[in-house]
Amino acid sequence: MQTATFLRTSCAALALGALAACSSTPPPVDQLAVSRSTVNRVGAEANVVANAPVELQRARDKVAMAEKAMNDKNYDMARRFAAEAEADARVAETKADAANNANTLQQVQTSIRGLQTEIDRRAPVVAPVPPAPGAMAAPGAMPAPAAPMTPPAPMAAPMAPAAPMAPVR
């Protein structure tokens, strides 16, 4: 009886040990390296530092948290923080690009306004042509019919054919 209990307990312990070994996740070394590289690349851009400092700092903080979780052998948390750090770095990069594009758009619009002003300044001033006297009709009235055209007068006499010319020697 004692042997059967011992065997059951041993089998249960081995099964739990096997399950624990299978469920452990490998350390996310590659993912952490990619995240760290992305954050460093984005952080080196002056445009990002100037236009998205909050997002960049959030990404740096999450890389630090991922490294701490990695040292604590909490690989699931390390993987999650690494993924979030990479996403935050990309958000910072996108926000900086949007700010740069908005600045470029503002410059283009200013240039267009300047060119339009120059076009307006150089355009000749055309005075409106006053209508001919009596041409004004009452609102809703039909325009007066035009005077009938007369056909052109026929030619007086047909021209005589020219005399043949003698060859020049």
- 10-residue mean pLDDT profile of the chain (169 residues): values are 58 53 75 94 93 95 96 94 95 95 95 93 80 64 60 60 62
What pLDDT, on the 0 to 100 scale, is given for residue 70?
94
Q: What is the pLDDT of residue 19?
A: 47
- CA 64 vs CA 20, 39, 77, 82, 86: distances in Å: 28, 11, 12, 9, 12
What pLDDT shows up at residue 135?
62
Neighbours of 90 (CB within 10 A): 15
pLDDT at 166: 62
Per-residue model confidence (pLDDT) at position 91: 95
**Other Cβ atoms closer than 10 A to 12:** 10
